[in-house]
Amino acid sequence: MSPASTDRYTGLAIALHWVLALAIVGSFSVGVYMTELPISPQRLKLYNWHKWAGICILALSALRLLWRLTHRPPADVPMPAWQQRASHAVHGLLYVLFFAVPLAGWAYSSAAGFPIVVFGVLPLPDFVSPDKALAEAIKPLHKILAFTLAALVLAHVGAALKHHFVDRDGLLDRMRPGRA
């Protein structure tokens, strides 16, 4: 691992963090909205966009994990040991869910017999064979994983805001764009 040269994350780590955050919030929002729509061309379009976002999230997550594994993060901000453990646990679960949610979505789509064609031009192979019973089993799993990710994202944001406004310990500044 490269040594940390500052008390901030690298520019690429910051960019990946915020692009992934926006993609996750956008995909989650579209996912919740689209499931409430009646069958229509609009709903089908949103399902495709949601799938494309999921594949992009999967790719960004792989890039982010690779970057994280090869670049040491800044030193931890001093905080009680229980907060340190909670922070590491939440971050670990976030990374697991960055992969689990889109992979479950891909598996559901494949099992349901609906191929993923990224941006309408790049067909992806089926993640699993078409199987309606399997699709019905995976569908609630994808939803549970997505809502778990949303809850962890809210906890992550809440903790960051607490550190910024209550503790005033500079933790949030390490990941804020454009701050030298």
Residues 9-63 pLDDT 10s: 999 999 999 999 999 999 999 999 999 999 999 999 999 999 999 999 999 999 9
Residues 6 or more apart whose CB falls under 8 angstroms from that of 2 comprise: 70, 71, 72
Radius of gyration of the chain (CA): 18
The band of 178, judged by pLDDT with boundaries at 50, 70 and 90, is confident
**Fold classification of 11-174 (topology level):** Fumarate Reductase Cytochrome B subunit (1.20.950)
Domain ranges of the chain: 11-174
Q: Could you report how far apart the first and last alpha carbons of the chain are, in Å?
A: 23
Predicted TM-score (pTM) of this structure: 0.93
Which letter does DSSP use for residue 166 in this model? I
Residues 70, 92, 163, 151, CA torsion sign:
positive
Provide the pLDDT for residue 7. 87
